[in-house]
Amino acid sequence: MAADTHLQENQPPGVPPLALTGERTLPDVPAENYWYRRHEAVYEWIARRVSGARVLDMACGEGYGSDLLARGGAGEVVGVDANPEAYEHAKLRYSGPNLRFERGLVESWATPGQSFDAVVFLQTIEHVSDPVSVLRHFKELLAPGGAVYVSTPNLLTLAPPGAEKSDNPWHIKEYTAGEFRALCEEVFSSVELLGLFHARKLAVHALALRLGWDQVHKTLGVSKLFYDRFTPAIAATDFRLTATRLESALDFVAICR
């Protein structure tokens, strides 16, 4: 393991920490807190809409999102991930009467005879080589009246201007708002698209950057001191979802029916 690899801190006894590889975000890694809270904000938004529901959290990773959905009032949550380390960690780290984890592939996992009121698939479709097939599989898992919640980063704000994708080696395809909507509409008849934006202190920080804060903290030599405090203090409430200005969103969230 590389000397600069970030490991999760302060895990419960008997729960081995996961290493931050860039493939998935993790809680309990201070340097990763911005990305973790960016994901958590969407999970919290979904949790408020699935109270009492049967929820499938596909590519659940470390398990924090499945746990949030379960604690948020979902009737039943099944978290599914193919990675053996993430799956074992999730089983050990999170538990509850309405929560369980299973290991499986997003393309094929299913329990015969079981359907779900909501399927959640966050920040993963950009990793998938055949996204249409995956979305069709999710549609088959839905109970009547159910919804699939899919999020993905915005190509226009993640990648350099004019680039086909960012330098994230785990991403196969990154989408503009139009491309993402068109992808979802290949499978679903109703698609609502929202964008995730900075709010509260992150909005203030973005304004400060536009006013030259980047140069100021470098000139004063306080960059590390500032961000060592600022980054761990970011919360899910420092993000917001809205249906406007999608071209400048950080991430997109599609609600598909």
Question: In the prediction, which pLDDT does 3 show?
Answer: 39
Give mean pLDDT, residues 26-32.
Answer: 96
User: Given the structure tokens 């959640």, which residue do they identify?
Assistant: 120
Alpha helices, H only, the chain = 33-47, 64-71, 84-93, 131-141, 155-158, 177-185, 200-210, 213-220, 223-230
CB 230 within 8 A of CB 37: no
DSSP string computed for 101-152 = EEE--TTT---TT--EEEEEEES-GGG-S-HHHHHHHHHHHEEEEEEEEEEE
**From residue 147, how far is each of 42, 62, 94, 223 by CA, in Å?**
15, 23, 25, 43
pLDDT at 247: 97
The residue assigned the tokens 């009121």 is: 117
Beta bridge partners of 87: none
Structure tokens at 210: 């536009």
Can you name the residues that pair with 81 across neighbouring β-strands? 103
Whole-number Å distance between alpha carbons of 58 and 42? 14
Quote the pLDDT of residue 216.
86
Mind listing the pLDDT tens digit for each residue in 45-82? 999 999 999 999 999 999 999 999 999 999 999 999 99
Q: Would you give the end-to-end CA distance of the chain in angstroms?
A: 43
- The tens digit of pLDDT for each residue in 75-90 reads 999 999 999 999 999 9
pLDDT single digits (tens) 236-248: 999 999 999 999 9
Is residue 111 over pLDDT 80?
Answer: yes
Q: Is the confidence at residue 2, as pLDDT, over 90?
A: no
Task: Calculate what percentage of the chain has a pLDDT beyond 70.
Answer: 98
Banded model confidence at residue 137, pLDDT cuts 50, 70, 90: very high
pLDDT at 94 over 90: yes
Average pLDDT along the chain = 96
User: Rounded mean pLDDT of 224-230?
Assistant: 93
Domains of the chain: 30-198+242-256 (3.40.50.150)
Question: pLDDT band at residue 1, thresholds of 50, 70 and 90?
Answer: very low
The dihedral sign for the CA sequence 41, 45, 48, 54 = negative
163-214 per-position pLDDT tens digit: 999 999 999 999 999 999 999 999 999 999 999 999 999 999 999 999 999 8
Mean pLDDT of 10-25: 95
